[in-house]
Structure 1
Amino acid sequence: MAEVDVVYEKTHHRHDPRWAARVGPADGGVALCVACVVELLGDADVAVVRKSHALCRLRRAVARFPTATCQLLLQEEGACTLVTGTLLEMLHTVADADALEQVIQVLVQLLAELKSEQFLGFVLDRCDRQLTSTASLRGSLPTLTFLGKLMGAVPTLAETLAADHGSLLEKLCAGLLFPDEAVKASVCYLYGRLWSCGAAVERLPAALRDRLCRLLLSALSHAQSRELHINCLGLLKQLLRFSDAVSVLMSWPSPEHTADSSAGLDKRDSSLPLIFKKLLLSGDETLQVASSQCMAAVLVHAPCQYAPQLIQADIPEFLFERLSCTSELLLWSVYRCLRLLTEDALFFSKCHAVYGIEPLIRSLKEALQLNNQEIQREGLVLLTEILDRQPASIQLFSSCSAFREAAEAVRMGVAVSSLEVATQAACAAAALLRFEGCKQRDSFECLIMSRQSQCFSSSTAGQGPWLCIIPECTTVWLVEQCASEPSLKENAFTAPGGPSEDTLDTFSLFLLETCDAVCVPAVTRLCERGPSPAVLQVFFSILSAQYTLVPSMMHQFSARLASCSFFKLTVELKAAFCSGERNTPVNAACSELLQRMCLCLLSDQDTAETAQQDLQQVGRVLARSLPGLCARLSEWPDLLREDPGPAGTARQGLRAAQYTLLLLLHLALLHRDRLLPDEALFPAVVTLLGSLQDRGDCPPAWALRAALFLLSATQDRSPALDGDSVHAIRKALSAAPTFSSLYTHHPAVLHFLFRYPELTEQFGLPALESWLGQAPGPAAEDAGPGSPGPPGPEPQQGGSHATLFAVIDSSPAAALTLLGVVCTGEAKLAHNALLVLTAYLQGCDSCDTLASDLLRPRMLQILQCLSIESDPQILGAHRPLSLVLRLLCLTHAAGGSAGRDLDSTAVKLLYHVSNLAGKLTSCSTEVLQPAFNYMYLCLALSPATCTNKAVSVLLCNTGLMELLQATLELPPGPPSASPLLCCACLLLKSLLRLQHTHSAQLLQTALDQDFLSPLLTLSLAEQRERPLEETEAALYPLGLSRARCLMAALHSLLLQRQELLLSAAVGCLDSLLHFLHRRSPPTGPVLPACVPDRVLISAP
């Protein structure tokens, strides 16, 4: 037989010869038996590998000799049907993925070559029955995949499916409700192929189309996998080619769809504009490109009908944020979509042009340095449209520098070699010259001169210690024997009813004190002259016995021993007397003491998750490793670096010894007992962690915690790590079950984690949460290695804050991580993080740069994500929002912001804060108060030359104006509502003053935006039935008594020492006096007479 023959030798001899033939040339053809194919593929006893091989050979036969193969299948009426049915049945019986792929390829290729409508109908009917008989659509995934590929290979299948198989289409549509995303992705791909055929779309019923649109929006809004996102967007782009489908998609959800048959759809999250916003916020450029292209496809149908919906959803703001991308396709798509949105006047009345002009200019300057002329032209067209359509009442450029940047971008466009781009740049220059908001012409003089010139020039023991330790040892042995007798634990001679004195526990405590005061100093002096193994054995036995006699005092006792360098003493004595299997009793005594000390100190760590099973594991490792660990300290670095080699008992023993060394070094250094110099310890630990990764070993969490602390404490005296070492450390630490099992409450750990961005990204947030969640201990109060002092002029700050200040100074990214704790942490942690950021910003001279470069852009991203939420109850109860707004006020007021121009980020922040505030109700006091404060600060601290832009942004927000009116109309309530009312009054005063200063006229601005401001309407609460007196009538509706009360309240505010409060009180007094003089000249000089001169003089 030839190499690619398709024959089942086991049963081929029983088959009729007419089922077999040699297809192709006689010397290189293929022996193909249809009956063998059917029996081989249908036999359950045949291995999947052999079936896959047969399928591969069959596919090659169809590919190489399609005509001969088809003739063989078609010569018998049931042969082709039998083969096709067998292959379709395998889609539900074969579980191997490779075999399924072979089945699908053979089916698609065979049906494409047969070109028979009869067999296509047979296949569709079989698929319909399989979908009906399958218990779960998950089992029909191969069938769905096959139909999608078949529709791509046979174009006429789409029309056949739409015309004659409506029930199959209904079943496929229901697949979008199935929870498995792979099924949804396959259904979307299949329908995308179907909708790409115009003739097939015309045959689809409208009810199926509408249901498909709504199910697609639901699937897209809840999609998690990238495959589902892409397939959904592919189907969406095909649907958007038809105006009827666009109408259904853009009108969902609406009141008439409340009786929709597709139960379980989340209508609130399934609106198309909201889906576009989520896709633009994703980090996948492919999804961002597809969403912008879909928006453009929507707008092409009817810009006047659909643009307001997208603008009301703040889509332009999200598009402007994408202009900072590097993808040319995404950039072109965003330009095109924004250009279509500018055709609606609402785009400019909602200040989207003001929000995005600076990002557009920066993006355009970068695009003009590319070689893509289409992008350059599209960007210049967008700029021209904005300049031509921007209303004169709304200032577009916030400063002269912004205007100069626009002129520079136009100059670069004129200088482009492409005639088409240069012509469009000239049109943009003309629009900029005609722009009424333009007050500076110097930039254009430079532009014209530059263009003219271009045209014309083309990083040994004595007996003393025995006198001390022999009685102690004998007594300890006696007490240990007595401790097992319950009758000896109480004093039998204690008076009835009196406290039990002189008990065994009291005596044990006395022995501990004696050991600490006498034995330890004596033996220590002995060790300095020349230690004796006999003395050492007894001495270490006495120390180990204390852990049994007085367990309640062992934490303090262990800490005292560790702080007196007992780790170093014990290790050195083991190396001197016990190496080479000498002095086994001394080795056992030393090892027991070290084990007890380690377990006691380890269980006493505040932040480590030392559960009982963890301590038991540590005990087993120490009991196994300590007796054999008799190396000198100078040999420890080499022992840490040693590679254990292949798996085996020796490897496990070396790893256990290395983990033991890490633990000893960790606990010793934590108690200021430095066993090794930093220059030797640091690279040894780094090498060990790299070896663990190379060998695939998974160390216990306590060993990783020790390694992290050792690296942190020795980093400052060691060179910086390279990228590979940091990556190996990160992977090793990632093996820990939780970060709390790695954490040691010490400043050096924070400094180390924030020293390298890769470690900061994964461990920075949990490290700060662990630090903020614990009170500073003795180790934390000491700056320790690598921890400089606090940055600010406030020495009264605790060690916890000072440590965080130092971390922020050395790594400003820590401020962003603290901001993340504010937004995502628990209430207590978020409050503590806010206190730290507040203290740092108030006490550090460099906080202005930190706020501008790091905090404010990140807070802008947070506010952008929150802007998707439209439910005022959810926003009002959002605790992190109030904290972020409070921090935003602080960053704006700190660091010399007074008198500084509003930059692009500040305008965007103001825009989002006002939008979020406009969505709330007056009951959301916790969020509204800092929001009002921030808007007031933007108006009060900015120079007069750039407040017009801020005023325009605020006055164009209808929701904000209505909220201010509702806040001012609140009835008298609890004292907690007073600060909100004060903030609202301050903001309103600034708005009224600034709109008058800039001659913008609030009423004119409101009418330009096609709404009536409730702030301009005065309604009378009641009608007077009798005439008022002359003075009361003149001062109505305030009245003389109310004027006196207001005057007295303002006088009391003048005694305060808060600058903002004093300034507000003086401004209110000025307004009140002018009101009195206008309304009642005789009353005007009388009321201010009660104000003491010293008060007025001291007031600012």
Structure 2
Amino acid sequence: MNGVDVVYEKFHFRHDPKWCEDMGQPGNGELIICVACVIEMMESDSIASVRKSVALSGISRVLKDKPGALKELLLQDQRVCLHFTASLLRMLHTVVDPATLEQAMQVLVQLLLELQSEQSVQFILNEIHILLCDQSSVKGFLPTFTFLGKLLDAFPSLTQCLSSNHVGLLEQLCSVLLYPDEGLKASVFYVWQRLWGAAGVAQSLPTPLRDWLCTLLLQTLANACSPLLTVNCLGVLKELLKLSEVVSVLMNRPCDLLPSDADQSLENDQEPQSTSQAQRCPLPLILKKLLLSGDETLQVASAQCIAAVLVHSPSQYCTPFIQADVPEFLFERLSCGSEVLLWSIYSCLLLLTEEPQFFSKYHSVYGIESLVRSLKEALRLTNQEVQRQGLLLLTEVLERQPVGVHLFPSGPGFVAVAEVVLAGVSSPCLKVATQAAHAAAALLRADHQSNPVQYEELEKLVEAIMRRCSELPLPASSRRRGSLKGPEPSSQDSGAGGFVLQALVCFLAACRLAEHCSSEPGLKENVFTAPSRPSQGPDPLESMCLCLLRCCDTLCIPTVTRQCECSPSAQMLQHFFSSLSCQFSLLPSFMPSFAVKLASSGVFRFALEHKAVFCTGNRNPSLNAACCGFLQRLSVCLLSQSAPAVCIHPQDCAEMEALLQSGLPSVRCRLCDWPALLCEAPAPHCDPATPRATQYCLLTLLHLTLQYGDRLLPDSTVFSCVVTLLCSVQEQGESPPPPSVLRSAFYLLSVTQGKSPSLDRAPLQYITKALCSSPSFSSLYTHHPPLLHFIFHYPELANHFGPQVLELWLSHRPEATPQSDTHSKKIEQGQEADPDVTHLQALLEKNPSVILTLLGMVCTREAPLAERALEVLEGFLHSRRGCEANLEALLRPTLLQVLQQVNLESSQGTGVGGSLPVVLRLLCLMQTSSSPENHMDGIHFKLLYQAVSMLLCNTGLMDQLQATLHLASPSPSLSGPSALLCCSHLLLSSLITLQHAHAAQVHRSISLDVDSVVHALFFRKKTTDSLLLASSLRLLQAVLDVDLESPVLCVGGGPSAGKRPLGETDSSLYPLGSHRAHCLITALYGLLLQKQELLLNVTVNCLGSLLGFLQRRSQSTAVSLRQWCAEGSGPESGAGRSGEERPEGAGSEHGTGPETAVHTAPVRCNLPSSYREQPTEGQNSDEVTELIASHQHRQSTHQHYACWRAFCLSVRLHSEDTWTPWFSVIDFFVS
């Protein structure tokens, strides 16, 4: 052998030159290889291993550097080629040097790859088989089996050839496994691992051989000591476990086939209670033993094998592993930090949870703490699949845990798992967050709650999940709604939809948990709170319910609405509607406002449209049930929110709820199909209850949606459909609809009438009959302005229901809310009118006949309702100052009838009704609102007569007047008795005048002392109120006008009048007397100097009445008084001196005191010249009255009445309510 040439000179000269060739590369020198030399060197035992190694190196170099050269040389003769191959194979049994053996295996594999000859490969396999059969011992076959493994690695297709054509060789390989050499077994198992890893090998191997291999594998694995053998055995086991039939063989392989030492080892590992099972199935104990080893690789392989077994049939194979206490050791291994081992253990435990024994043996209870700690650490890792697998395991444990066994008996344990789930929800990976939300839903089960319940942690968890929903990006199809065809949903969109769905499941679980806690008194409070430290905060359960309602309102509803705009889901909607339904039982007090908000935001349309899409044709029954339950609760809540004037009985609510419950499930059509469904009449031979229930449900839904601003159908369509339905029910002789349905129909007809044609006579009769069928009209009433206009649009309806509608309308009072309180304050301050009154006044403008109905209510209803009706009429009349003749012609006859009826009742002793005050107020208001151009007619006088008669017949009023006149001198201020005395003077003066004019009957007279009246005027205080003086003068004027004689009054002169017989002058002026006449006229002249226009006018009138009285009773006294007036009327009399410039302290015949006496000297005043002239005999009191009237006419009439009415108003503010109607009458009669 020269240099690196593969030539042995000792033998080379004998060889044919054709087997020798230069294999060198240009520039690298010569490399001569002689195939014959190589064969002889390899077969010779005398050649050193070093020479053989060098030769193998040269051949390897040629095979590597010059592909195909050696192949070409060998293929000159196939026999030589096979001989060359056999010589290399025999080296594996003859060479001891490991390096040379490695080179031989390498060259042999390279050569076979170079040759690519099936014949050569088959030859090698046959040779190996022959060698195994010829040898009594397999000692020294380790290089052969190692080469076979490498050959299978180089030729993957060789596995199929081995399994089908070389079964004998495989049997020999199994026999080798009985040899105790672990290295030899490791190499053989490596070959089997490559065989089982190939596709189709398992099906081609004989079953006995397969079963034998399984037995040998279990034996070897149970007694393996070297890591290499264990790893290779586990590799074979993992490949075998891919086949279910092999798993069955392994799991049912009896343990008695194992060697005694292995059997003893397994018996020592197993628990006493699982001895029989371990003897029958040793694989769980073997894998458990590997799980307890300190090698992480073996632990991972063991866990993977356990999972590979269980995945085929957990129900069949879980029990042996559970009885071997494998779950306990799996939980212990969770403390590791290896992501691969964690994932494998999570997978095993996940499969074990499918067996009920996992929970009955309390593995979940003992292992939950380890699992939570492991998850807490896993969520800090970067491998999201491990996090997801761990959360999935937690979810399964929480969902499958039996009800009677609690996982979290104390608060800290529950808080720990809640924190882990919360961390999972916050994960940036949406898949991990989705799985965490799933775990949260399972955690919200009632039997998982600790004692006390950790409501704060639950709130945090639910709120975090719902907030994560709101932070999700908009789906792609929603962002591109402008395109004709939206893109396919991306993985991100589908992940977002999955998270939203899982969040809704969690939210629904939280709502149901809150419902459960509300029904359990022991869960509402913390039973461990010390009695000495009561909780000062809000109720934790109520706080949680409020949190759920807030999340539902601000997070859940917007998220689902946004998600359903692009990719609606039946499952998502089912949980959404169920969650909304739960809110009605959690916080009933908040539901009225929440229901109104839902209805106003279009939730009816949302629910009905999606119900039609997903539930048509009896699809998605769960969604249909959830949607119907929500709509039923929402509808009942809204329909129950009636005004106080509306009477809805509990049985009506129950009937309405039953109707919705039976009819809503069949409402599955689109909105465009509703008109046809409403107008459809039931078939003649079918039960009409079912289709009618559906139609009635549609009416209720249309009512509610329209009431809260959502028009599902056009108004004209709704109107015609409702009319058709009501007519159809009566035409077919069916029972009338329930009151709640009639209420909805009535509302729909009222609201949609404006855009629809008027009803004909026949439909109107049907509608009237339907409305009359209700036992109580109040149950049909809805407080809405169109209802008023609808009723009074048709006279027939107005005749039947007009008074009832107006009564209900006026009885309505809005519920007390902060907004309504502010609104009412504005109304009281005059900043804004009452909308109810405004709507009613608008109706009066269009339909004046309604006034008569209101007037009837004023006269016949109780005081509160009559006051409301009067308020409307007052507002209407105030807005119509200067009433038209037709309005007066409408009101006055009715008022006359009312007054006549009251008079009749009074004469019959039944008393005056409580409506009399408001009737009088209305009469006064109508009179003051009358146009100045309207002339008095017969009705006016009849009204006047009836009013006076009522006043004079009212003995209670006369007694009050008498008591008021007997009051002592009041204080000058206009408060208390002074105000009452003023009003009494004015009212009494009006009664005297009107009784004298109409000769009305008087039942009770009033005593009046003229002396006290004159004394009050003559000796008045400086600070005496002008209004009190004016009222006294008005009363004195009325008494003088009737010559001091009236059935109303019993006038007396007091002690100073003397007793009859009197002188001629005093007797003619009795009971006034001559002296009082002079005193009176002196006092009146003093008052003429006042600067107040009101007092001046009243004084002039009284002076005229006094002169007229004197002219009629004693003309001599009248003439003397005129002369006295003429003497005192000169310009030099100091007319500028006012009545206040009298000297104080002047006495009088009536006594002395603080009063200031009026000067008895003539007081000059600028009276008209006619007063100073001597009257002729023909001149009488009429001329004097005319002169006085001409002076009065020059005064400002407007200011006179304005002052007088202001006075009356001020009096009313300080008077009792019983005087109010009579003060109004004063306004009426005096004006």
When normalised by structure 2's length, the TM-score is 0.42
Q: Which has the larger radius of gyration?
A: 2
Greater RCO, CA 8 A, separation 6+: 1
